Structure 1
Amino acid sequence: MTGGEANNYFKTIQHIAPSRYYATLNCALQEVFCVSGIQGMLPESPNTYFGKVAHRLLETASNGQTSEDQLEQIWESILKSEERSLQETGFAKHLVPLKNNVRLYEVKKRLVFKTAVTLISRKGHHVSPVQSRSEFNLSSSNGLINGVVDRLTYSSNGCEIIDYKTGEVIDKVTSKVKQSYQYQMKLYASSYYTKFGEWPISLRIQTLSGLSHEIRYTPQECIQLLKQAEYLIERINRTITTSQNTNEIEEQLGNPSPANCVNCTYRHQCKPYWNRRAISRRDDWPNDVQGMYIDVQHLGNNKGLLKLLWKGSMIKIRGLDLERHNISAGSLICAYGLLRDDVAHSYSEGLLTTIYS
């Protein structure tokens, strides 16, 4: 694919949500895949899908569109919708029902409901609609940064920006709020300033367990971060419009690394990913393998042992659910999301294992 065809395949970025900025900064190709309407072909963690359901319920509660006694019914409706989408993908249908694959599902669900009840209560006690706003859109002056804030809360001192998180908030290495969340909140702050001409009095992340984390900031760093984000979009779009073919775009925008790729759902489509792995000496890449099909040994209970050949080495993948995977004899096999065994070139099936022939 060359010239104009490449530009038709990859779309330019119209704007980036603050929640997506950190990921785009680390690997712009992921965001370009997404905005171009290209679906990732690997499943995400069940916790991610649970988080989507939880966020939609909290959004409904924040907008005053439900009462406490309706929460269960609304939850089930949102959950069924998400699970239908997973079943339609094919590669994630085995994650349904989510309650069987999300650790501490009921505990997390109760925490979501507790937060939702609090939001409903606050909504009911508000006298003036300007005291708080939910799901409020904030955009930079040129529209390149655009996202929806979970909640704006007003007091006599000013506005507080609040974002709800259903997953881990603290980075295990730094013991601080994850950098991606810090960037997200600071971009919200700069967009708020752009819209209203004043800075929020605080930025706060709220977890389901009730913990609150304040993101400290200065106006100068927020303005600088906004400029960097806008420049990033311009650089990405310039690469897309001036490159000669899709390979050139992917090589310039892709930034494969173990950290950037471990949760990326586009690894199967990403040529830079496999190219970088082939020359890298690091051993902490995602547990993905490729090789020519040798055979499948049936082990009973519809489980199988798949054998592949790659660069003179035999790769073994045991415990495969043969009903879950479509494995074609005599073809190149790509297997993703495996569990690594102690023996070299030996793997087993995991919850997110996906195989393509």
Structure 2
Amino acid sequence: MKNLLVWTLAAITAVSVSSAFAARDSISIVGSSTVFPFSKVVAERFGKSTAFKSPTVESTGTGGGFKQFCGGVGVNFPDISNASRRIKQAEFDNCQANNVKDVIEVLIGYDGIVIANSNKSPLIELTRRDLFLALAKHVPNPDGSAVLIENPYVMWSDVNPELPVSKIEVLGPPPTSGTRDAFVELAMEGGCTSFAWIKALKKTDKSRYKEICHIIREDGAFIEAGENDNLIVQKLNANKNALGIFGFSFLDQNSDKVQASTIDGEEPTFDTIADGSYPVSRPLYFYVKKAHVGLIPGIPEYLAEFTSAKSWGEEGYLTDKGMIPLSSDERAEIGAAVKSLKALESL
């Protein structure tokens, strides 16, 4: 009798799970606003070239996407999460804790983070040190001592006499954005380490080091503009003194309206991002819930479309959207792992 009850409950559970998945007949994708246009065009082509419905793609930001994706398994949770940085250990652990055990990681290409202004304004040449001093909450005392003070800089010329005599006003993404994470780690921290005494803290007091290098000021110089890069472009056109932070792919599609500052003497281009000489470059990813493969229709086929030569290849349609492709060897290795649905074992 006991065994019969167990079997009955198991059968009911299986039917419930199957029914829950059957309630959704298209792929659900969330995450990075930077990866969004790439994912969207793949989804559209996938819907037109196959018998499957076009996936639903939402721009929630990288952090927001992982929060939803790692919430659990089932029809109420997304199948794929786009990301403009690699998944963090805490996010991976959250997935595991919520029974999202097998996660497939797909590195899709590269992007650069640009600091842009209106085409109607003069081009600005910046360094990572300039960006740190302009945007950090606390900065080294200008007297040269190893002491931090509340950021006193109001004008760009206060930071560096060679920069314009204009108010520091930078429009950027919120904390949930992978672009924000990457900007802080690559640009802010890169400038922060130009001060030897702060750089030394990384070995002696890592939490203090990160607090100094990563925390952005909150006095109005940095303005959170949400996940909508189009809004940033509109505001840059309306305010000739403002700068905006977003991905190279978005700059590439709006070159008639905005222009990118050089960073440490390097201009963000297809080639400088691909070879790593542009200092604020980052990898792009998406993550797939293996438990949903075979239950939500079309996931393997969507993966095949995304990792096909016509999509992410050197002359694929994603390069037309501004994505910097992986090398042929990287594409071959990652493509094979994706085809076998190889899950990420650890970070």
Query: TM-score when scaled to structure 2?
Result: 0.28
- Greater per-residue strand proportion: 1
Report 1 or 2 for greater relative contact order, CA contacts < 8 Å, sequence distance ≥ 6.
Answer: 2
